[in-house]
Amino acid sequence: MTSPATPVRIALVGSGRIGQVHAATVHRSEGAVLQVVADPFIAGAESVVSRFGGRATTDALEAITADDVDAVVVASPTSTHVDLIAACLDAGKPVLCEKPIDLDIARVDGLRARAAAASVPVALGFNRRFDPHFAELHRRVQAGEIGPLEQLTIVSRDPAPAPEDYIKVSGGIFRDMTIHDFDTARWFVPDVVAVTAVGLNQFSDVIAQHDDYDGAVVTLVGAGGQSVTITNSRHCAAGYDQRLEATGPLGTLSVGNVTDTLVRSSTGASGDSGAPFQNFFLERYARAYSAELESFLTAVRGGELTGPGFEDGRAALVLADAAGVSAREGRTVRVDLSA
């Protein structure tokens, strides 16, 4: 659509926290320019354009269909994602949509055939696939360094629970938080066939009151017999705990937590002490957002969409729903992601 020399003109829908991250990322990119920012809360859109360029509008549809817009980044509330993706497909505009596609698999399935038939890329914002450390681990697994993957271990703990207002509408831990880990799992083991989940209520009465879990342990099994173990918690004293470990017959590859500084100390209390983990996803995945955008831009320019797409977004939701059933009913749930 555009040559490398011509920056891709981006319409950003949503100017909240994650929208601002995307705006800054577009601004820093040599291959993209922020053309328009849409938000019904116009002051938010205006604040973003004052920092990163472009024009502000309250009308997402106008932004998506504008002639001077080449591609769309959707960072609005989850409930709007399906309609906005549909509008992008209508307008023939490539779209990078934040996860999840929707909390309701029926709505996702309603869009599925059109997404599959689309002539433009539909990219899903699963940021972890773009983290340089996780991506390097993935590359080395794919290269055969550990032989065929046997066991994958994902630890993901948030630093602190979201506010109650968010918990209420989050769709529950599996669809809101574990969904990232389901996608990470499928990055390594696309063909998950069984989901066994245990939901935990360990510390938060508020979360329990909303019939949600504040922690979880999920075991997936792949068609090839691989296991994936996911450990989640809604809190973690040392920060955002994000670890990945892949084991095969030839060895194990792992990525531990990231700290802002490499300074270590030795004192009477500890012979070797490092910094806390980076606080949360904005810090931990800062570099991932750039890589995610660049990957999308490659697809916009006609290259292959190598990152997660609509089907990946759907599959993660299917696994999340299966985990919910498994945890509630105390049984392994078998899934067929190709169905």
**56 in Cβ contact with 36 (< 8 Å):** yes
What contacts 21, CB < 8 A, 6 or more positions away? 282, 289
Nearest to 183 by CA among 246, 100, 260: 100
Q: How far is the CB of 253 from its own copies (least distance, A)?
A: 5
Phi, psi of 189 (to 5 degrees): -130, 80
Buried b (16+ CB within 10 A) or exposed e, 306-324: ebbbbbbbbbbbbbbbbbb
Q: Does residue 77 belong to the site contacting its own copies (CB under 8 A)?
A: no
Q: In whole angstroms, what is the distance from residue 260 CA to residue 238 CA?
A: 13
Largest alpha-carbon pair distance within the chain? 65
Q: Does residue 331 belong to the site contacting its own copies (CB under 8 A)?
A: yes
Q: Does residue 198 belong to the site contacting its own copies (CB under 8 A)?
A: yes
Collapsing DSSP to helix, strand or coil, 106 comes out as helix
**Which CB sits closer to its own copies, 163 or 330?**
330
Residues 247 to 306 in contact with its own copies, rule: CB under 8 A: 247, 249-277
Q: How far is the CB of 200 from its own copies (least distance, A)?
A: 5
| Residue 156 parent element (H or E) | strand 151-157
Q: Does residue 63 belong to the site contacting its own copies (CB under 8 A)?
A: no
Q: How far is the CB of 108 from its own copies (least distance, A)?
A: 26
**Which CB sits closer to its own copies, 265 or 306?**
265
User: Which residue of 87, 89, 236, 300 would you call a contact of its own copies, by CB under 8 A?
Assistant: 236
Binding site residues, its own copies, CB under 8 A: 28, 132-133, 136-137, 140, 145-146, 150-151, 153, 155, 157, 194, 196, 198, 200-203, 215, 217, 219, 221, 225-227, 229, 231, 233, 235-239, 241, 247, 249-277, 330-332
